[in-house]
Amino acid sequence: MPSEYTPASFDPLSTDQIAITICENFERQPLVSMTHEIPRFEGSGLYALYYRGTSEELYLPLADLQIPVYAGQALSSNSATGEKVRERFPLHGRLKQHRTSIMEGGLRITEFRFRALLLPDVHADLGENGLRVGYQPIWNSKLKGFGSKEQGATTRRSKKSKWDTVHDGRKRTHGGVVHDIEALIMEAKAHIDWQVAGYHSLPWPHPTSETLLDLDAS
């Protein structure tokens, strides 16, 4: 028997524990098909995109797992000034933008799903950080540039992003190509293998089943 004993420590209001709680609740939300236009809804919060297809060999290892290809947040206030955003539909607007990017990038929109949760800004920030640190989604890490917006001449002079190099086709201009597509794909494959290997090491449990919402085209 051990000669010493110290009780476990648990702080339910620590930022780490709150982030775990948010991520666990987030992954209980249904996956929503992106095949049709997403009905508009108000509010801000946390979201993630998932691959659930068979045609993209690069993302096939993720098709049965709760590992998002991208995680983000849409806030109700400006993170720099604290002022309320003018947009009533920030979360919907981001998802709509991403849906267009996926299609313009030559990917089959029928093979992608999203998950979303309305949250106060501070909790959306904690949830996004939990998903990004825990999963390191491929479009947030190795293939960056998916979530960027083209905003004026400075952005247009920027070099072509890693995401746009692999998934070419978005209607935007850029200052040139600096990435080797084959090297990017090899790096992305290695990263996805690492994600899958560590899938069960996260501090929140993965749901054993998922509900799919297939939005009507009407």
Question: Tell me, what's the pLDDT at 82?
Answer: 57
Mean pLDDT of 28-53: 96
Tokens of 27: 């992954």
Cα→Cα distances 210→64, 66, 86, 198, 207, Å: 10, 9, 34, 20, 7
pLDDT tens for each residue of 201-216? 999 999 989 999 988 7
pLDDT tens per residue across span 150-180 = 655 455 567 899 999 999 999 876 777 889 9
Contacts of 71 (CB under 8 A, 6+ apart): 46, 47, 48, 49, 128, 131, 132, 135, 137, 140
Q: CB of 49 within 8 A of CB of 98?
A: yes
- Give the Cβ contact number of residue 76 at 10 Å: 19
pLDDT class of 1 with cuts at 50, 70, 90: low
pLDDT for the residue numbered 157: 60
Do residues 139 and 161 touch, judged by C-beta distance below 8 A?
no
Model pTM? Answer: 0.90
Question: What pLDDT was estimated at residue 144?
Answer: 96
Residue 87 is predicted with a pLDDT of 76
pLDDT in tens, 97-128: 999 999 999 999 999 999 999 999 999 999 99
